[in-house]
Amino acid sequence: MTAASAVDRIDLKILAALQADGRVTNQALSQVVGLSASACLARTRRLETDGLIAGYHARVAIESIRPTVVIFAEVTLTRHHPSDFAAFEAFAMTIPQIVEAAQVSGAFDYLLKVAVGDMRAWRELSDRILNSDLGVGKISSHVMMKAAKDFSGFPIAG
């Protein structure tokens, strides 16, 4: 049985509530989902152990801390062997400015979300990526003008 098939409606309520507010107390969470505090805590711990809760994070307003330019970069590899993808992904994991990376289908291979201090920093990082021995053939950049909708969680129900 997969973890997803073991999830019931109460688990879904817990996941939705925690996704909306990861700082909710166990007592408040138990009231939302209609369980005792101990039963709610046991379920939450099981969801964490089973990997359905991948972590808890604060959403930081980085622009309030330092100047930041967000770039969406389309990366195309020259070869498409599994080892090429693995090498690129391992490299991306070492670059803190790459805050998200997704392998995608279509005209390019990866979509990166990159946060840098300015365009000079992006140019230096993109040159580093292109000049690596990762087989990157092309990078197309898109500068984020504003966040029209921030990620607030996945749709849990339905």
67-83 confidence digits (pLDDT tens) = 999 999 999 999 999 99
Q: Using CA atoms, how far apart are residues 73 and 108, in angstroms rounded to an integer?
A: 10
Residue 141's H or E segment, with its range, is strand 136-143
Pairwise CA distance, residues 70 & 38, whole Å: 43
Count of CB atoms situated within 10 Å of the CB of 11: 19
Residue 62 · residue 70 · CB < 8 Å: no
- pLDDT of 158: 61
Domains of the chain: 7-49 (1.10.10.10), 62-143 (3.30.70.920)
For the record, the structure tokens of 59 come out as 């959403």
Report yes or no: 73 and 126 within 8 Å, Cβ to Cβ: yes
pTM: 0.85
